[in-house]
C-alpha cells in the first residue's frame, strides 16, 4: 500500500534556413514579395507538433475522462523519466504462494518486531488506548511490508500504478488473451476482460490520488518511489489509503509514511477503521487483514508473526 518542481513540456517548430549569395538572395527576396502580395493572409495559427504520451494514450484518455488536467497528464506521461508503455501481462486468478513469506518465520523478525515495540512503548500504549489495535499486529505488518523501513522500494510508483491501470486497454486485453490461452486453453476472453476491468477500477483512482499528494507536498509525482505494486512507506500504503488513513503520529505537522511514528499510527488507523480489535474472532481479524492485502498467505504470515512477537515480549 510510497518529492521537485513539476516540469513543463514545450513543443517547438524548427525552421530550416538556407545561406544564399547576395545576388541570389536579392532575387529570392523579390520573388517572395510578389508571392506574398498575391497570397491571401491566413487567420489560422500554425498547428503544433502532436505531444507524445510515450504509448500511454489509452490511460491518458481514461484519466482525462476522470478529470485529470492536461498539465498533469503532460507532467506524468510526456516526461522522459516515465518509461514508455509496454504490455501488462496478468493472470486471471492470481495467487500468492505461502513460500514468499517463509522468510518471516525466522526468529530475527520476531526480535525486530519486539525491539520496535519496546523502542516505541509510549506510542503503542497511546495507540492501543485510542484505536484499540494491538501493537504486535501493527508491527507484524510493518515488518512484513518493509522490514520497518529497511526495504520500502525504489520503483517510480506513478509508473507502476499506471501499468496496472492500463491493464484494460483493448490491445492489452487481446495480447493477454493470446498469452493466457497458450498456458490455459480453457480461459475465455470474458475472464480476461473481467480481470482487466478489475485492475483498471482498482488502480485508475490511485493516479489522481498520487497527483494530489505530490501537489500538497510540492514535489514532482515522478520523484515518489516505492514498491513494484505502487505502494510506499513503511506500511506500503497505496496513495488513496494514505489520503484516507494516514496520521501525524509525532504531531510535527508533517505526515510521512517513512516516519516510524506516523507509520505505526497510520497502520493502526487503517485497521481500526475496519473494526480490528484484540478480542474479535480470528475470522474477523482475517477479513480485515484481507482488505490490506488480498492474500491468504499474507494473512497467515501476519497472524503468525504477530503471535511470535507477542510471545517474545511476554518472555522478555
151 three-state secondary structure: coil
Across 61-88, b (16+ Cβ under 10 Å) vs e yields: ebbeeeebeeebbbbbbbbeebeebeeb
143 three-state secondary structure: helix
Judge whether residue 2 has pLDDT over 70: no
CA separation, residue 124 to residues 10, 68, 116, 129, 309 (Å): 51, 39, 10, 8, 14
Q: How confident is the model over 74-97, as a mean pLDDT?
A: 94
Is pTM beyond 0.85? Reply is: no
Judge whether residue 250 has pLDDT over 50: yes
Q: How confident is the model over 91-111, as a mean pLDDT?
A: 94
31 three-state secondary structure: helix
How far apart are the C-alpha atoms of 286 and 305, rounded to whole Å?
A: 14
CB 1, CB 236: distance < 8 Å: yes
Judge whether residue 306 has pLDDT over 50: yes
CA–centroid distance for 211 within its chain: 10
CB 140, CB 305: distance < 8 Å: yes
How far apart are the C-alpha atoms of 30 and 210, rounded to whole Å?
A: 58
How far apart are the C-alpha atoms of 154 and 73, rounded to whole Å?
A: 22
Judge whether residue 16 has pLDDT over 50: no
| Relative orientation angle of helices 107-119 and 296-315, to the nearest 10 degrees | 60
Q: Which three cell numbers stand for residue 292?
A: 490490506
Residue ranges and CATH numbers for the domains of the chain are: 103-151+233-315 (1.10.530.10)
Q: How confident is the model over 169-188, as a mean pLDDT?
A: 96
The set of long-range contacts for 70-76, using a CB threshold of 8 Å and a minimum separation of 24, is 71/6, 71/8, 72/211, 74/8, 74/9, 75/6, 75/7, 75/9, 75/220, 75/221, 75/222, 76/158, 76/162, 76/207, 76/211, 76/221, 76/222
CB 156, CB 225: distance < 8 Å: yes
CA–centroid distance for 145 within its chain: 15
How far apart are the C-alpha atoms of 159 and 247, rounded to whole Å?
A: 26
Among 37-41, 105-109, 205-209, 284-288, the minimum mean pLDDT is found in 37-41
Can you tell me which residue has the cell 513539476? 6
pLDDT tens, position by position, 18-50: 323 333 334 334 443 333 333 334 344 443 446
pLDDT on residue 28 = 39
Judge whether residue 54 has pLDDT over 50: yes
307 CB burial (10 A radius; 0-12, 13-18, 19+): middle
Amino acid at each position: 500500500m510510497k518529492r521537485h518542481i513539476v516540469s513543463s513540456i514545450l513543443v517547438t517548430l524548427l525552421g530550416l534556413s538556407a545561406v544564399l549569395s547576395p545576388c541570389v538572395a536579392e532575387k529570392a527576396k523579390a520573388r517572395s514579395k510578389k508571392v506574398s502580395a498575391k497570397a491571401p493572409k491566413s487567420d489560422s495559427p500554425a498547428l503544433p507538433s502532436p505531444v507524445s504520451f510515450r504509448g500511454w494514450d489509452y490511460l491518458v484518455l481514461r484519466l482525462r475522462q476522470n478529470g485529470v488536467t492536461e498539465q498533469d497528464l503532460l507532467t506524468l506521461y510526456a516526461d522522459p523519466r516515465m518509461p514508455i508503455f509496454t504490455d501488462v501481462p496478468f493472470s486471471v486468478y492470481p495467487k500468492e504462494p505461502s513460500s514468499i513469506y517463509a522468510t518471516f518465520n525466522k526468529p530475527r523478525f520476531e526480535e525486530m518486531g519486539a525491539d520496535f515495540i519496546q523502542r516505541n512503548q509510549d506510542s503503542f500504549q497511546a495507540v492501543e488506548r485510542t484505536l484499540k489495535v494491538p501493537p504486535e499486529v501493527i508491527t507484524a505488518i510493518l515488518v512484513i511490508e518493509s522490514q520497518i523501513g529497511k526495504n520500502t522500494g525504489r520503483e517510480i510508483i506513478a509508473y507502476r500504478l499506471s501499468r496496472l491501470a492500463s491493464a484494460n486497454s483493448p490491445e492489452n486485453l487481446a495480447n493477454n488473451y493470446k498469452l493466457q490461452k497458450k498456458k490455459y486453453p480453457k480461459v475465455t476472453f470474458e475472464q480476461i476482460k473481467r480481470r482487466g476491468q478489475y485492475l483498471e477500477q482498482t488502480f485508475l483512482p490511485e493516479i489522481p490520488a498520487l497527483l494530489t499528494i505530490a501537489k500538497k507536498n510540492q514535489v514532482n509525482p515522478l520523484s515518489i518511489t516505492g514498491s513494484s505494486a505502487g505502494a510506499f512507506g513503511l506500511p506500503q500504503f497505496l496513495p488513496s489509503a494514505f489520503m484516507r488513513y494516514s496520521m501525524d503520529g509525532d504531531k510535527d505537522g508533517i505526515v510521512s509514511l517513512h516516519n516510524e511514528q506516523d507509520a505505526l499510527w497510520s497502520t493502526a488507523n487503517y485497521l481500526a477503521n475496519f473494526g480490528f480489535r484484540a478480542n474479535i474472532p480470528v475470522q474477523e481479524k482475517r477479513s480485515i487483514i484481507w482488505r490490506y492485502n488480498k492474500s491468504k498467505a499474507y494473512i497467515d504470515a501476519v497472524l503468525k508473526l504477530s503471535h511470535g512477537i507477542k510471545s517474545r515480549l511476554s518472555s522478555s
